[in-house]
């Protein structure tokens, strides 16, 4: 499951309160960052919740490490962020501009 819009990110933010418990070096390979706590929407099936949690963990692994492979695994090539600053490209490339990563 890759996220296709910022709406999905809103759901993830509502579902998870992630506080990575690993250093960036540990997150570069398995295991992915573990949440300290989670709130999961009860209307989701266990499979849907598990997939959303995995996607969020991949996304947080990207933020922790800057490894573009995690971003590619977490978001769809058509990902669109409607809150990007002017001049930043849409899609996964826009995510790679975080903290000066071109």
Its pTM stands at 0.61
At 20-72, the pLDDT tens digits run 444 444 445 557 888 889 899 999 999 999 999 999 999 889 888 888 888 88
At 73-92, the pLDDT tens digits run 888 888 888 888 888 888 87
CA distance 6 to 94: 13
Pair 16, 56: CB distance under 8 Å: yes
């Amino acid at each position: 499951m890759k996220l296709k819009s910022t709406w999905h990110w809103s759901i993830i933010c509502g579902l998870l309160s992630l506080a990575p418990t690993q250093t960036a070096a540990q997150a570069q390979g398995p295991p992915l960052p573990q949440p300290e706590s989670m709130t999961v929407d009860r209307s989701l099936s266990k499979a849907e919740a598990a997939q959303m949690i995995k996607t969020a963990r991949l996304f947080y692994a990207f933020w922790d490490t800057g490894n573009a492979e995690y971003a590619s695994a977490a978001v769809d090539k058509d990902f669109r962020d409607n809150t990007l600053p002017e001049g930043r490209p849409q899609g996964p490339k826009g995510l790679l501009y975080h903290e000066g990563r071109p």
